[in-house]
């Protein structure tokens, strides 16, 4: 998966006609690190992916690929459970399943976020463009926005502007957490 995401980032960089140096400067990442991510040699965090998506002016869903058509070239309207594109951030214990056709245009992106016990986006707060909302379908998650942290359980929901520094994780030691997550570009 690191290689596929890296190739997609390289494709977006070439489409935008940007150098590695320019992307590094705009993302406050090193040129070497951006190069390693593009070559699939480094596994980026969700924070890094959100930052790079902002540099290219796309949502995180654009990193899943560019398959805008469904079976037989029909426009992607329905996404079958076994056809979902998935972004596994295996080092963090977080994975995102895209609940719409990969590369679909639009301002709204729907994900199923799975968090392993102890999985998280890390200790650093991050920001990106847009707005987020979600519903905890299973388990428990912590959500930190600015300096405040909430523990959400099955059935709890949230909404916030993505420009507010945030992070999330699963504090459980044994149980997974599943969250229906929506990102909207504003």
Least confident of 9-13, 68-72, 79-83, 157-161: 68-72
The whole-number pLDDT of residue 65 equals 61
The whole-number pLDDT of residue 131 equals 94
The model's pTM: 0.78
pLDDT for 58-67, tens place per residue?
A: 877 777 765 4
The whole-number pLDDT of residue 181 equals 96
Q: Where do the domains of the chain lie, and which CATH numbers do they carry?
A: 2-64 (1.10.260.40), 74-184 (2.60.120.10)
Mean pLDDT value across the chain: 87
How far is Cα 150 from Cα 92, in angstroms, rounded to an integer? 20
DSSP 105-132: -SSEEEEEEEE-TT-BS-SS-B--SSEE
Tell me the average pLDDT across 20-34.
93
Return the DSSP state at 173.
Answer: S
The whole-number pLDDT of residue 50 equals 83
The whole-number pLDDT of residue 116 equals 96
pLDDT for 108-130, tens place per residue?
A: 889 999 999 999 998 989 988 88
Structure tokens at 113: 């976020």
Q: What angle do CA 159, 162, 163 make, to 5 degrees?
A: 135
* pLDDT of 152 higher than 80: yes
pLDDT for 78-100, tens place per residue?
A: 888 888 888 777 678 998 888 98
């Amino acid at each position: 998966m690191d290689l596929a995401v890296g190739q997609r980032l390289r494709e977006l960089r070439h489409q935008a006609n940007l150098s590695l140096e320019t992307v590094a400067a705009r993302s406050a990442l090193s040129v070497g690190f951006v190069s390693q991510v593009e070559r699939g040699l480094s596994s980026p965090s969700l924070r890094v992916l959100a930052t790079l998506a902002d540099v290219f002016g796309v949502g995180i869903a654009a990193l899943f690929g560019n398959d805008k058509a469904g079976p037989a070239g029909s426009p992607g309207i329905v996404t079958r459970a076994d056809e979902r594109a998935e972004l596994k951030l295996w080092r963090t214990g977080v994975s995102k399943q895209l609940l719409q056709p990969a590369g679909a245009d639009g301002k709204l992106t729907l994900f199923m976020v799975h968090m392993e016990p102890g999985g998280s986006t890390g200790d650093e707060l991050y920001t990106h463009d847009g707005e987020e909302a979600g519903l905890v379908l299973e388990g428990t998650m912590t959500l930190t926005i600015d300096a405040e942290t909430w523990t959400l359980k099955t059935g709890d929901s949230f909404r916030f502007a993505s420009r507010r520094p945030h992070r999330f994780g699963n504090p459980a030691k044994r149980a997974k957490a599943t969250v229906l997550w929506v990102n909207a570009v504003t």
